[in-house]
Structures are given as structure tokens and as C-alpha cells.
Amino acid sequence: MTKKEFIYALSRGLGSAYIAVRKNPEKYKKEVACLLSKCPAFDAQCEGTRSYYSYSVFCCYKEPEYFRDIIIKRFDSLSVKNRGWNTAYYAEVLVYFACDGDELAKKALFAKYKKLYNTLLKKKRLPNGVFPERDNFEYICNALRVSQNVYDRIATDIGKLFFSNKIFDGGSFGWFASNSQFKRLARKKNKNKYQSIFVNAVNEYEAEMERARQERLNDPIYLAERDERRKRFLGRELFKEFSLPSNESDLLKLLNVLGTDKHNENCRHSFHSDILTLLRRKNAPIYVKSALPIIYSTTRCSYCREKAFTEMARRRMLTETIIEECLYDCNSDIVRLAKRKSKRFSNR
């Protein structure tokens, strides 16, 4: 694999990049350090931050600490007000290191956790709009909820925060609370005082939300508006007319043009999504399936790649090479599916 091909594959989170590093780690060290020292996801909200993929790539090296140090340095230097997914990404990668016994990673995580916690304790007013300090604190809490012990310790801290700073309520850390760990803690008999404060605040907030939802469901004006919104949405989704080339060779030509230029990223993404939506319909023209291997290898969005992979599986278009590299993809659903497929391949 050339450097250029490697960069292309690594930035897409493809398993082929992982395999290339495993075969020859030193050759790609600079590129790995450069591309994976910030959140590599195309859309972290729908595909996650790809932290496990990055950690697996780092672990192909004899000294993964080289990358740990880069990540710690970046993580430390982020301001509490930093926006975006990097805090979540760094925290998750460091949690993987820490779970493997790395003390420096652990130290960096808890130092940042404390720093953000103290900022929240002192906060006097809720900001209008974005609240990055809270978001970043919650990203770290979520990355750390790998064990019951840690979850309960964080729950204690958040309970203390609710107790001493009234700008926060049970909805302030809804993501951290929406977890099976929360249900376990809520059932636990011997909660400490602050854990009870946390659990009660979350439950009260949710009961309040549910009451408001029921009230809306009894409001005819709200219901009429909601139906109208639904109709508009369905109209857009179901009756959207695709401006798709009418034959295979034009389609491939268009994909080729879109497939290389970085400036076309968004345009390519929406075109790929349109094709994938079309392919899930019964009446999709047969030639459209030729787009799938191209979408698979060119999209930067691993969520679209997952859909392409699924459609290829359904149409028996997967090759052994694709299945093999998908075992190391950044998207865990692709990995799961590839594992099933690879068993079937080897059983033949």
C-alpha cells in the first residue's frame, strides 16, 4: 500500500489500513500520529469517535506509549471551553490505555475530570446556548463508565454538584444517566446520600418530562402540527426524486468524479446516501448496485459504509478480501457482521 493509499484508507477507518500497519508499523508511523491525533470520525454523532479503532492501530506498535503521549499532550492542552468531539475521543482512547494498566493515562483522565468538575462547581449561571464545560465533563464521565465502581463514584460527584450548585438539575447529564448502570444504581439499596440525590433528581426530571409529553398528547393544536411535520418529512423522504444517471456507465463515471476530490466530501456524502436509500427499495434498478463497492471504499462516513456493506452482503457481492479487512473496521457493527460472514466463508 502506498502512503497516499494508506492515508486515504486510514482517514476512512478501513480495516485495510489496520492490516497495513500490522504488517509494517514503522512505515506508517508518521501518518498514524498525524491522522489519529485528533478525532478521525466523519460524523461522530452517528458513527462514534472511532476511538477503539485508533487504539487498535496504536497497539500494533511495540511502544504504543509513543501515541499515548501525543494524545495526553493534546488532551491536557484542550481548554475547558473547547468545542467538538476531541475531548470525547481523547478520553475514550485514554480509557482503553488505562484499562490495560497504563497509569499515566489514568492520571491524565482524572486530572481533566477534576479540572472540569471544579469549573462546574463554581459556575454561577447557565450560559445561553452551548455549554462546552458541561459537555466535556459529560464526555469524560461517559468514557469512564466502564465499571460499576467508577460509575458510582461519578454519580456521587454529580450528586454533590446538584447539592451545592442549583443551576444544575436532573436533566443536566442526561446522557450519563441514560445507561443500564443508572438503573442498577437506582435499584441499589445502600446508596450514599449524594448518589440518592443524583438518582432522585434524574427520576424527578424524567417524570416531569413524561408529564409534559402526556400534556402535549392531549393538546389538539400540538397534534395537528406534529401530523403536518410528519407528512412533510415523509413526503421528502419517500417521494424524493433522485437525479440518478440512467445507466451503469454514467453512474460509475459520476461516482468516479465525486470519489477523489476532498472538496466534494459533502456532495459525495449526500449522493451516496441517496443511492443507499434507493437500494433499500424494492424497485431499485439493478445497475445501481455497481455503486456499492465504490461507496464502500470512498465514503468517509463509516455509517454509510455499514449500509453499503449490508447491501453488498444481501446481494452476495462481498469478496474474501473485503470481509477480511472489515474484521478490523472502525465501525463495530461492520466488524460484527464481517465476523459472521467470515465464519460462513471458512465453513465452505
**Which residues in this chain contact Zn ion in the complex, by CB under 5 A?**
301, 303-304
At closest approach, how far in Å is the CB of 5 from Zn ion? 22
At closest approach, how far in Å is the CB of 258 from Zn ion? 14
- Residue 86 CB neighbour total at 10 angstroms: 20
At closest approach, how far in Å is the CB of 304 from Zn ion? 3
Half-sphere exposure of 307 (CA within 13 A, CB side): 20
How far apart are alpha carbons 205 and 172 in whole angstroms?
A: 9
Residue nearest to Zn ion (CB): 301
- Closer CB to Zn ion, 158 or 304, in the complex: 304
At closest approach, how far in Å is the CB of 57 from Zn ion? 22
- Closer CB to Zn ion, 42 or 198, in the complex: 42
Q: Are 90 and 71 in contact (CB under 8 A)?
A: yes
Nearest CA to 280 out of 252, 306, 246 is that of: 306
- Closer CB to Zn ion, 218 or 270, in the complex: 270
- Closer CB to Zn ion, 141 or 304, in the complex: 304
- Residue 189 CB neighbour total at 10 angstroms: 4
- Closer CB to Zn ion, 305 or 341, in the complex: 305
How far apart are alpha carbons 119 and 137 in whole angstroms?
A: 10
Number of H helices, E strands in the chain: 20, 0
Task: For Cα atoms 247, 249, 253, give the angle at the middle one, nearest 5 degrees.
Answer: 120
- Give Dmax (Cα) for the chain: 68
At closest approach, how far in Å is the CB of 46 from Zn ion? 7
